[in-house]
Structure 1
């Protein structure tokens, strides 16, 4: 039998041309593109050119992930640093989109930066839920996924939660003590969201809920369509700008990495989606002190450890005012994703956060 590599396997080894890459859901993206460029044929042409370029661009081979040291259901705990006698630092991403936003590429990885700075850094990968996980809500992700994995560490870790991962980190800290906790762009006080955004999200969930209830999960496309609807003009404009990005440039590589991340990700369990849309967005349960885990109310003000809330005044996804009130707060002027992967992220977020972690034993 001929064991020489096929063209397909060779392409995978060298990088992924992957013509199937594209915004999800693509029909909705095309609808938005057509609507937003009505009366502007030049912008329409450039946006389509950017879309085609994105779909056909060759992707580099992904950087190797950290070493798995624990798992709980589909979730895994990946180690990026090395044991150093100090407190481990566990980074908890959102349930929405893949965890790779914190390890996007060799040059845009908060996890690799933290490991290089001497922290024993870990990343939670929530994995893909199965049909049997439909009843696991946000509280269950804390009790059945996060806490069992943290128990495998040699000593209690410092928690760093990004976006919804910050909300879940606060839930874990309400149940057991940790040396310190930091949140990055974490939604907590949902009454601080613009009323138009809350109405949009409510309508999105009302339309999607019957289907999600039948299938037992919330497809990533439901969530992505909500993000696009918040700023459709920007969604199309960035593809038009990408059409002009020089081939092989850092700008091109960054766009591909971020968009592939944004268009990827597993579904949410049905119960987690219901909690997010009904209890959090519609009911502001967390902001009103009504979110409980195992009968324990989650109250950030009651945390008996150093705590830091990092928010951004230009965050379109989680407004600065929606963050939790912790002992310290730091305000940035970077976008929701840009603060962790953008050009200014290293100076404005990674390095100050590393110093804060070191000051608290991490």
Structure 2
């Protein structure tokens, strides 16, 4: 297995990449973050402005690209075809002066000003840590509905050995990260790989046997490139994530505040939906936020966003729920 995985890794390093770039227009900026919408003609843009807005919020840990990965694998594209105007948050590269910007600061100073650039009601759809962030933003912007996908909230319900492993990694990395003013991607990758190292070996071993130029190979390359890229976290956000959430369960204990308000997902007045994976090692199903409705899926953490089964099992139920819950 390890020999096959090494062969797969070499193949990955030298493989020709799929070429996909969807044109986006900038709706708003806040610091180095941008709110993107699908580029269109003036007439199409005016029509889109009359359609319900769905703001997709990715994790701070990896880029927004996973939500619009290719023509055939795009939650953004699906929502556009379903009658929504999708907007996509790009957190961008943090500037040196952003080093102390914590999770609440990303919401208050970056996300909320961009959301307020959109006229009319909006729905929020957050993926992974982006779902946690969406719930914080919901305290300030009164959305029509909020949906989270693979979002962590109850960090006390992670397996104890995984919390201990992540805590040990952070203890080792924290002094350097504080001096740098940010948390490098390598630190974050080490943390996630340590949750399921056998899976990393299996997936590269399987990739070694994929036919060159096949749909499976192109999909693997796109997802792995996304997983291996991404901007660093500000030190403030990293400290919040590891010290306050993973170690302290501030969100689950009702101690995490945004805009001076404790974030209480169970008390939001709008419709809310949590979509969780029963097979997720990065965000266990038990760690989901306490929302009004829930969908449990056998698809994995990334598979709920990009896999052959994602359109039928996740995207379609999500767009139906958004339409029905927001009254559109």
- Shared fold (TM-score, shorter chain, > 0.5): yes
- Bigger Rg, structure 1 or 2: 1
Where structure 1 has 5 or more consecutive residues not aligned to the other structure, the ranges are 1-42
What secondary structure sits across from 1:47 in the alignment?
helix
Does structure 1 retain, via aligned residues, the 8 Å contact 2:25–2:36? yes
Does structure 2 retain, via aligned residues, the 8 Å contact 1:65–1:78? no
The answer to whether the aligner puts 1:56 opposite 2:6 as a matched pair is no
Write the distance in 1 (CA, Å) between the matches of 2:90 and 2:29.
Answer: 9
Matched ranges for 1:63-212 at <5 A? 63-80=21-38, 82=45, 83=48, 85-212=50-177
- The one-character-per-residue Cα deviations of 1:280-328 (angstroms, maximum 9, x if unpaired) are 0000000000001232100011101111111111111101110111111
Write the distance in 2 (CA, Å) between the matches of 1:117 and 1:306.
Answer: 19
Write the distance in 2 (CA, Å) between the matches of 1:353 and 1:237.
Answer: 30
Relative to the length of structure 1, the TM-score reads 0.86
Does structure 2 retain, via aligned residues, the 8 Å contact 1:242–1:255? yes
Aligned to 1:25: none
Does structure 1 retain, via aligned residues, the 8 Å contact 2:94–2:232? yes
The answer to whether the aligner puts 1:354 opposite 2:312 as a matched pair is no
What secondary structure sits across from 2:231 in the alignment?
coil
Write the distance in 1 (CA, Å) between the matches of 2:316 and 2:49.
Answer: 19
Where structure 2 has 5 or more consecutive residues not aligned to the other structure, the ranges are 40-44
Write the distance in 2 (CA, Å) between the matches of 1:66 and 1:155.
Answer: 21
Residue of 184, 200, 223 corresponding to 1:235: 200
Per the alignment, do residues 285 and 210 of structure 1 end up closer, same or farther by CA in structure 2, a change over 3 Å counting? same
Does structure 1 retain, via aligned residues, the 8 Å contact 2:51–2:83? no
Shift of 1:113: 1.1
The answer to whether the aligner puts 1:342 opposite 2:300 as a matched pair is no
Matched ranges for 1:17-28 at <5 A? none
Root mean square deviation, CA, Å: 1.2
The answer to whether the aligner puts 1:275 opposite 2:240 as a matched pair is yes
- The one-character-per-residue Cα deviations of 1:48-80 (angstroms, maximum 9, x if unpaired) are 211111011111223224211111011111113
Write the distance in 1 (CA, Å) between the matches of 2:79 and 2:143.
Answer: 19
What secondary structure sits across from 2:275 in the alignment?
strand
Relative to the length of structure 2, the TM-score reads 0.95
Query: What is the total number of aligned residue pairs between the two structures?
Result: 320
Q: Find runs of 4+ consecutive structure 1 residues off by over 4 angstroms.
A: none
